[in-house]
Structure 1
Amino acid sequence: MGGGNQEAIKQLQSLMENVDDEQLKNTFQNMHQGYPTETLIRFLKARDWNVAKAHKMLIDCLKWRVENEIDKVLVKPIPADLYRAIRDSQLMGMSGYSKEGLPVVAVGVGLSTYDKASDKYYIQSHIQMNEYRDRVVLPKATKKHGRYIGTCLKVLDMTGLKFSALNQLRLLTAISTIDDLNYPEKTDTYYIVNAPYIFSACWKVVKPLLQERTRRKIQVLQGCGKEELLKVMDYASLPHFCRKEDSKSSKHNASGNTENCFSFNHVFHQQLYNHIKQQAIIMESISPIRQGSFYVDIPEPDPDDAKIAKTIETELHKLENHNGFNNSLNGVAVNGH
């Protein structure tokens, strides 16, 4: 790390030491989990080492956490039947660890339907997974390996990606905005697998809009990516949809399958859900938990991110119209190789 970067860290540390609001200080402690410098570096990276911008981003994040009671999100369980429905329609889980000890997070982008619950529950569940990762999973990995581990790997399965993704774009943009502004630089590498034509077409127009540091993190792999992924993780940590060349292995309809890391019955989701239930019981014994829905203010997206979302929407509309025109002529579907 260069001298300029070290100076930026010192300046941001000095600015944070001047924060006198107790609520902001408390939520910052809960956020950094004993690694404040590493947390400052994440926000500096997200703002290209501009101290003033990183400071504003971090203060805005802390205010968002306080105003939305994010520190209490892990004591607010979603009812079990609803949580199971969310897991069947918001495909996300943790399949294991990389050879370097980083958690491997799997996301079923193409087959997620987000149609079994209201948006607020999908957002609540997503934030709970973020907080559980940051407060439980990463600290355990750090302790196990005797060195700081603050990021994860993400494997994004594009199987089943369709034009209907347009219907989910608003919710996905909201979730992405929450991640970008409040959980920056938490992913080391994004691996894209099982990419159909529709992804390739969108990627072609989105890639030039991404910042260089983001582009460097994204790797689009051949097929299910098994061969490349085995270089960074053991077979046991491969997401289920990467274990066979047949893309249909991504199907998630076997909700009782404990090998499927999206499933409510998978060990990760059982541990996460039980952790939240236990924390709720402990909190209830101290003071009654306020009942009711968990609402989160969605921050305004970064202008660059908003532009990317608009570009994806435009490209999907173009592809959808082109596909419809082709179908009306000769019944040929879009090539999904």
Structure 2
Amino acid sequence: MDSSQEAIKQLNDLMDQVDEHLKDTFEILHQGHPSETFVRFLKARDWSVSKAHKMLIDCLTWRLQNEIDNILSKPIIPIDLYKDVRDSQLVGLSGFSREGLPVFGIGVGMSTLDRASVHYYVQSHIQINEYRDRVVLPATSDLHGRYIGTCLKVLDMTGLKLSALSQIKLLTIISTVDDLNYPEKTDIYYIVNAPYIFSACWKVVKPLLQERTRKKIQVLHGCGRDELLKIMDYASLPHFCKREGSAKLSRHSSPDIDDCFSLDHPFHQELYNYVKQQSQNKALKIPIKLGSFHVDVPDPDPEGTMIVQTIESELHKIGDQNGVTHDDD
């Protein structure tokens, strides 16, 4: 038995000893693939069994304490509020790579994250994670006849400004939730439409990242279309990658069903209807309360904190060079 198989076996033996509540939420987490899930947590902790075990127990405890298993039956209502979240937290599933991996587009530069409270943005983010893991990935695994447990993300930096400083706190919360509870779920992050401000920050942040993380980030030329077409069909490209110069169009210039951020896009319609249906099933048992679903956010790890501080100081430096006040765009 090689060392990785031995580590998986040790982690499995430790998990056999946990109480039933943790085992139940672990079943929802692993979706029938415990070994592959052990591998994700082991990779995230450099194959230390004891650290991976602690990380996994912490994750399962977080899931129980915050009722994450039920989050897909907790709609963000009313629909106008959900639409505000969608219009200001730009994320969507644009399609699949040729190998069957879901491709998520994320509008980093144009997301304003200013139309709802932090709790709604965190709730929406976790719902998309859970829908990906419990619905999208099992469906694409069935289609391809093999286990697919990860996705690709294309990050659109169009419109990135110094005012991004104001969003760093919320983005740190969301990335901490992902790092600690959804580790190793993204194979590659493709960065497209990167302006100078991104390049300046990337130069100072890149050396701080662990090699494992650094290898996952690819900064592509322009809108990235030609590179991305090597791994996915044109139909699966996020809308902001489909033609050079399209990035310069206003996000709101033409409502388009092809816009994977839009509530009208098939992915968001399916997700919205799924959550609505789940909530109706639950409502037969307990009345639904209005209001956001509060999730406790774990503290970021020291590496994450250092990276955020570096980005902040770099943005301030750029602002000072350009004579910009920091609460301006």
TM-score computed with the length of structure 2 as normaliser: 0.96
Paired amino acid for 1:278: Q
* Aligned residue in 2 for 1:310: 309
The reply to whether residue 23 of structure 1 matches residue 30 of structure 2 is no
In structure 2, what is the Cα distance between the partners aligned to 1:278 and 1:56? Answer: 35
Paired amino acid for 2:41: F
* Aligned residue in 1 for 2:235: 236
* Aligned residue in 2 for 1:331: none
Q: Which secondary structure does the structure 1 equivalent of 2:317 belong to?
A: helix
* Aligned residue in 2 for 1:197: 196
User: Which residue of 57, 61, 64 maps to 1:59?
Assistant: 57
In structure 1, what is the Cα distance between the partners aligned to 2:290 and 2:81? Answer: 16
Identity among equivalent positions (%) equals 66
* Aligned residue in 2 for 1:39: 37
> How far did residue 249 of structure 1 move?
5.2
Pick closer, same or farther for the CA change 1:37–1:251 going to 2, 3 Å: farther
> How far did residue 250 of structure 1 move?
6.0
Can you list the C-alpha shifts for 1:249-268, whole angstroms capped at 9, x where unaligned?
56421574211000010000
> How far did residue 294 of structure 1 move?
0.8
The reply to whether residue 71 of structure 1 matches residue 69 of structure 2 is yes
Q: Which secondary structure does the structure 1 equivalent of 2:300 belong to?
A: coil
Q: How does 1:71-150 map to 2 (within 5 A)?
A: 71-79=69-77, 80-150=79-149
Kept in 2: contact 1:195–1:223 (CA 8 A) = yes
> How far did residue 237 of structure 1 move?
0.2
In structure 1, what is the Cα distance between the partners aligned to 2:65 and 2:304? Answer: 23
Paired amino acid for 2:21: Q
TM-score computed with the length of structure 1 as normaliser: 0.94
Kept in 1: contact 2:96–2:232 (CA 8 A) = yes
> How far did residue 322 of structure 1 move?
1.0
Kept in 2: contact 1:240–1:250 (CA 8 A) = no
> How far did residue 4 of structure 1 move?
1.2
Kept in 1: contact 2:105–2:153 (CA 8 A) = yes
Q: Structure 1 residues 251-260 or 93-102, which shifts more? A: 251-260
In structure 1, what is the Cα distance between the partners aligned to 2:98 and 2:204? Answer: 33
Q: Which secondary structure does the structure 2 equivalent of 1:129 belong to?
A: helix
Q: Which secondary structure does the structure 2 equivalent of 1:100 belong to?
A: coil
Q: Structure 1 residues 214-223 or 248-257, which shifts more? A: 248-257
Paired amino acid for 2:263: F
Kept in 1: contact 2:106–2:155 (CA 8 A) = yes
Kept in 1: contact 2:76–2:292 (CA 8 A) = no
In structure 1, what is the Cα distance between the partners aligned to 2:295 and 2:10? Answer: 31
In structure 2, what is the Cα distance between the partners aligned to 1:167 and 1:112? Answer: 12
* Aligned residue in 2 for 1:48: 46
In structure 1, what is the Cα distance between the partners aligned to 2:108 and 2:85? Answer: 14
Pick closer, same or farther for the CA change 1:282–1:254 going to 2, 3 Å: farther
* Aligned residue in 2 for 1:174: 173
> How far did residue 185 of structure 1 move?
0.2
Paired amino acid for 1:280: S
Paired amino acid for 2:278: Q
* Aligned residue in 2 for 1:216: 215
Q: Which secondary structure does the structure 2 equivalent of 1:315 belong to?
A: helix
Q: Which secondary structure does the structure 2 equivalent of 1:164 belong to?
A: helix
Paired amino acid for 1:262: F
The reply to whether residue 257 of structure 1 matches residue 253 of structure 2 is no
In structure 1, what is the Cα distance between the partners aligned to 2:148 and 2:256? Answer: 29
Can you list the C-alpha shifts for 1:141-196, whole angstroms capped at 9, x where unaligned?
11111100000000000000000000000000000000000000000111000000
> How far did residue 70 of structure 1 move?
0.5
> How far did residue 54 of structure 1 move?
0.4
Can you list the C-alpha shifts for 1:188-216, whole angstroms capped at 9, x where unaligned?
11100000000000000000011111111
Paired amino acid for 2:251: H
* Aligned residue in 2 for 1:154: 153
Unaligned runs of 5+ in 1: 328-333
Kept in 2: contact 1:154–1:190 (CA 8 A) = yes
In structure 2, what is the Cα distance between the partners aligned to 1:183 and 1:255? Answer: 34
